Amino acid sequence: MHILEEKIRAARAAGRHALIPFVTFGFPDEKRFWPALVELDENGADIIEIGVPFSDPVADGPVVEEASRRVLSDGVCLERIMGELKLRAGVFRAGIVLMGYLNPFLQYGLEKLAVEAREAGVHGFIIPDLPFEESGDIRRIFAAQGLALIALVGPNTPEERMRLYADVSEGYVYVVSAMATTGQRARMEMQVA
């Protein structure tokens, strides 16, 4: 069982839903980012998703887009993210997942990324713009380093496609709950099963 799945199952065994916050790397600035990450970790985050900023965040809403724009202007890049995470490898109890678009990962080099991610204490990746049909090589490269490639499904994902993801998924599945970009709604009705 992958460590990310273990963390979710442990939360369920404790009678609660897993807490999985998202933060954009380096936001609002690096000086305040790390204490915020430590605070999330110390206060019960089971898994922390760290956003890798990208200049063309097509699936992100205005809040995440603005956070990405700001940290990119501060010089945040994937090399810096990996270096800073390596310095803190093993510090966090929470599982660490990097969430970002395919282009920066390809530019960095997938094998290099996978090795460095493992060394940095990363447990998985969410790549929203990676179609299932193009994920085989990446999944294999990540799996060789013990990294999960987390599937992303939404309300419009057909059942047969969900079965494809279920056959190869590790860790957990990222479920997009609404057909809108992130941060578009001021309010959302919650229904917890």
List Cβ neighbours of 161 (8 Å cut-off, separation of 6 or more).
132, 153
**Catalytic site includes residue 60:** yes
Query: Exactly one of 29, 30, 49, 66 is catalytic; which is it?
Result: 49
Query: Exactly one of 46, 60, 116, 170 is catalytic; which is it?
Result: 60
Measured CA to CA in angstroms, residue 173 lies from 5, 54, 124, 163, 165 at distances of 10, 22, 11, 12, 8
DSSP 158-179: -HHHHHHHHHH--S-EEE--SS
**Catalytic site includes residue 30:** no
Place of tokens 């085989």: 136
Q: Report the candidate in 104, 53, 112 with the shortest Cα–Cα distance to residue 86.
A: 112
Give catalytic residues, as residue numbers: 49, 60
